Structure 1
Amino acid sequence: MKMVRKMLEQRFIEILRDKNIPEKLIKDVIDSGYILRNFHDPFSGFQWWSVSDKMYGNKQHYSLFNIDDFVKYIQGDNVFEKLPSFTEITVKNYKDIESVLSEPGRRRYINEGRLSFRGQVSQYTYKRKIPNPVRGDESGNEISIFPGLYRQKEDNYSFSIIQNEKRSILSFLQELEPNNPNIYSDSSYAHDIMLVEQHYATQTAGLDISFDIETAIFFATHKFLFNSDGNAYHSKVKKGEHNGVIYGFCFRDPPVKKTEFLIENFDFFKTYRPERVIRQSCALPLFSDYERNIAITDLDFIIYLDNDFDYEGKRESRYMFPNIKDDRFYGKLLELKDRYPHLLANVVEYEGSRD
């Protein structure tokens, strides 16, 4: 697959050179994640080429552009019409959130188990040297809903930066699940392993979402911080200082349904159950390197919390991040971290977790 993409990238470069595009601009185009894609109609035999944006995979309205139109765009002649704005609502309390969720279409999604949520204390954006023609704003910013693996801190997002996924828990599977003799031979456990990696250790290519609105509200109203001892904790945002956001998704292709994605138990981790994952009503859809920000294409709405948002919430830190008595998997993981601090340095210890 990597070889094919490299060939398509090289062909795209040759096309741009044939159209007398300067080398620096060509470099910016490739660095920003644009590539050539080939399509074939099996009935007519017709083939055609389009420019694809590696942020959005194969989403037609976001990612497939006529080559000549794209060339005009990068030369400063914007021939593309912007996509409609997202459905955005500002809420002051839980009643306002209920009003959003009670809309008939969304109520149907909820009943079908198709509506999922993600809460953040603020909205994040990124910028590329060549923004997406139909989604970048006037300043070139695009909303970022990346899985942790694909996030960057640079001023300009770059696809030339290699994203290496590290799995610290893999080396300790025998101790984390001592009663499974097929621990290394059965790949059907891969998703379980990625789930605990994401929630206890290292960011992965999975995007944390929940089917529970209260979980999303918690993460939209609590900042993740560290105390003077280096232990993590969540601090509730004060009224008047809220800047949180809740994303509502209805993933369509492929669908992300509660019946298939909600984690209620683990096939692999039986001896020590990862309680944190269960309590947060989690799901973890995976996104490839070729569709890093594709989640925004399935946004049903964006809820912004008013600065004076007023709601205590039903979830507390000690419930969302249980201590080692309630979460035996976490207890075992911290025990291993005490023995192998360098190998498990990215396992976060929470304030009061050993109480």
Structure 2
Amino acid sequence: MKPPSSLSDVLRPEKSAALMQAIGYSSTDIEDLHGSGMLAMDVGKLPLEDRLELLGSDPENLLSPHMDLNHFKPLKASGDVVLVDYYTGARLKPMKLGPLAIFGQRGLEPRPGPIWSESEQLQTLRSRFNRIPVRAVTSRQHLDQELELFRKINTPRSSIFFRGQTNQYFVNRRPRVKEFLYGSCSAQEPSLPSTAYRRQFNYLAAERHWKAIVADIDYRLSGFADNRWWVEDDIEHVYLTSDGHIARWHRLSTMSISQHYGLPTFGLDVTTSLDTAWWFATHKFHERDDTAWYTSHKWHEQPSENWPVIYVFRSSDWDPIHDLELAAERPRRQAAVLAHGSWGVHGNIVADDLIAVFVLAPSFGVAPAETRDIFPSDDPFYRELLSLKASIGDKHPLYSGAGLKHVFEIVEPPS
């Protein structure tokens, strides 16, 4: 008996194209769907363990109540064939492409969150069923005043986080697919995938190496004081069958430290510090060989669509990583938080927690902090990582296999 296919096998473009053609999609339809991150698959051919990657995705036909049913034309398919969106994780029964607005034409305002009139917004973005307001701010004082509205309605169970970027990036959708999902070809979705997703880096294969690296450095820096790394075999079974705290600490500490020091993971860097987000929004990243540096971003002569941004997220399912009890100074300096980002068929899942985007006008100015304030050179963990990378060289399996090549030495800008 032939073994069932894995998720990666089933979602190959050539298999997806064959399924779509059999259903009745034209070559143009297939090109538009594939070019927009949507593939066809037969769920029935997946083994049970691979179906776990689809958990958390929408059940088939979970659609907006505001979709335009006048354009709804289902397509018949044999087996359990669905369309899978690699950005939202949505699964849809096959249907003819048209201006359906599957996720709704207008979208839901973020709740809880301040409501700005259309005239007060620079633009609006969409993330699945959500409508995300975009507001221009002219100074730090102006931004603080706007954020006070969010803080007043903040609750302990739902915290606010920030992320700064020198540019906005958007999900690449074909016009017909935008109409299919949102009813308008002008709809824009913020693109916030994890680095592992963007670079197609196999984090799961690298994670076991990084767990050993993090544990080894922690042993030497702490004098073997932390016995959580020793949990294994029968003892590990005890912890896993109680509250799972130690197992969760292992995964969180490994992924968060890996992510924060350069390894592409399923996480996304965010922060509780507005100053940190401001700094990353107004400093550009550069790399050369094994070194990297930041320069002040200049956007005074750029059009508003190219101005830097600070994203505001609200979620109760994110993990602070500045208090992991590891000798890692960088996460503390940056008040770092790990957003559980994209994996499997959930490439842009973090965007569902986005509640506002603030665009920084040229008058806002560059954050005053120095690079050494954000990336301290007196970081014990960072120095150990650089030393390990230098000692093994670029021919060692860990250099690429564990992703150590992504650990850059942060230096001053070349003169």
Partner SS state of residue 387, structure 2 = helix
Within-5 A mapping of 1:152-163: 163=201
Q: Could you say which residue in structure 2 is the equivalent of 1:164?
A: 202
The code of the aligned residue for 2:194 comes to P
Aligned equivalent of 1:88, options 117, 129, 134: 134
Aligned equivalent of 2:321, options 263, 266, 275: 263
Number of matched pairs: 312
Check the 8 A contact 1:116/1:210 in 2, yes or no.
yes
Structure 1 residues 226, 4: CA separation in 2 closer, same or farther (over 3 Å shift)? Answer: closer
Q: Could you say which residue in structure 1 is the equivalent of 2:33?
A: 29
- C-alpha deviation, 1:212, in angstroms: 1.5
- C-alpha deviation, 1:203, in angstroms: 1.4
Within-5 A mapping of 1:174-323: 174-178=215-219, 179=224, 182-183=229-230, 185=232, 187-188=247-248, 189-226=250-287, 231-238=291-298, 240=300, 243-251=307-315, 255-256=316-317, 261-266=319-324, 269=326, 273-287=327-341, 288-310=343-365, 312-313=367-368, 315-323=369-377
Provide the C-alpha distance between the structure 2 equivalents of 1:11 and 1:140, rounded to a whole number of angstroms.
Answer: 29
Q: Could you say which residue in structure 2 is the equivalent of 1:45?
A: none
Q: Could you say which residue in structure 1 is the equivalent of 2:160?
A: 115
Partner SS state of residue 102, structure 1 = helix
Provide the C-alpha distance between the structure 1 equivalents of 2:19 and 2:215, rounded to a whole number of angstroms.
Answer: 52
1:298-344 Cα shifts (integer Å, max 9, x gaps): 2211100112323644x432111001x3x111111111122113223
Q: Could you say which residue in structure 2 is the equivalent of 1:44?
A: none
Q: Could you say which residue in structure 1 is the equivalent of 2:382?
A: 330
Unmatched 5+ stretches in structure 2:
42-57, 63-79, 108-123, 125-131, 237-246
Are positions 1:54 and 2:86 aligned together?
Answer: yes
Provide the C-alpha distance between the structure 1 equivalents of 2:382 and 2:335, rounded to a whole number of angstroms.
Answer: 17
Provide the C-alpha distance between the structure 2 equivalents of 1:296 and 1:28, rounded to a whole number of angstroms.
Answer: 22
The code of the aligned residue for 1:265 comes to D
1:206-249 Cα shifts (integer Å, max 9, x gaps): 0111111111111101111247x863222222472572111111
Q: Could you say which residue in structure 2 is the equivalent of 1:155?
A: none
Are positions 1:102 and 2:148 aligned together?
Answer: yes
Check the 8 A contact 1:209/1:284 in 2, yes or no.
yes
- C-alpha deviation, 1:112, in angstroms: 5.3
After superposition, the CA RMSD in angstroms is 3.7
TM-score (structure 1 length as normaliser): 0.73
The code of the aligned residue for 1:78 comes to P
Check the 8 A contact 1:232/1:351 in 2, yes or no.
yes
Are positions 1:79 and 2:126 aligned together?
Answer: no
Provide the C-alpha distance between the structure 1 equivalents of 2:389 and 2:19, rounded to a whole number of angstroms.
Answer: 52
TM-score (structure 2 length as normaliser): 0.64
The code of the aligned residue for 1:264 comes to H
- C-alpha deviation, 1:142, in angstroms: 3.6
Provide the C-alpha distance between the structure 2 equivalents of 1:136 and 1:198, rounded to a whole number of angstroms.
Answer: 37
1:237-276 Cα shifts (integer Å, max 9, x gaps): 247257211111113xxx335xxx2223225x3xxx1110
Unmatched 5+ stretches in structure 1:
42-47, 58-62, 153-161
Structure 1 residues 140, 303: CA separation in 2 closer, same or farther (over 3 Å shift)? Answer: closer
The code of the aligned residue for 1:294 comes to I
Partner SS state of residue 55, structure 1 = coil
Structure 1 residues 23, 307: CA separation in 2 closer, same or farther (over 3 Å shift)? Answer: same
Q: Could you say which residue in structure 2 is the equivalent of 1:60?
A: none
Structure 1 residues 145, 102: CA separation in 2 closer, same or farther (over 3 Å shift)? Answer: same
Are positions 1:341 and 2:401 aligned together?
Answer: no
Partner SS state of residue 285, structure 1 = strand
Structure having the higher helix fraction is 2
Partner SS state of residue 143, structure 1 = coil
Matched-pair identity in %: 23
Partner SS state of residue 123, structure 1 = coil
Provide the C-alpha distance between the structure 2 equivalents of 1:334 and 1:163, rounded to a whole number of angstroms.
Answer: 21
Check the 8 A contact 1:120/1:219 in 2, yes or no.
yes
Provide the C-alpha distance between the structure 1 equivalents of 2:373 and 2:338, rounded to a whole number of angstroms.
Answer: 20
- C-alpha deviation, 1:23, in angstroms: 5.1
Provide the C-alpha distance between the structure 2 equivalents of 1:264 and 1:239, rounded to a whole number of angstroms.
Answer: 31
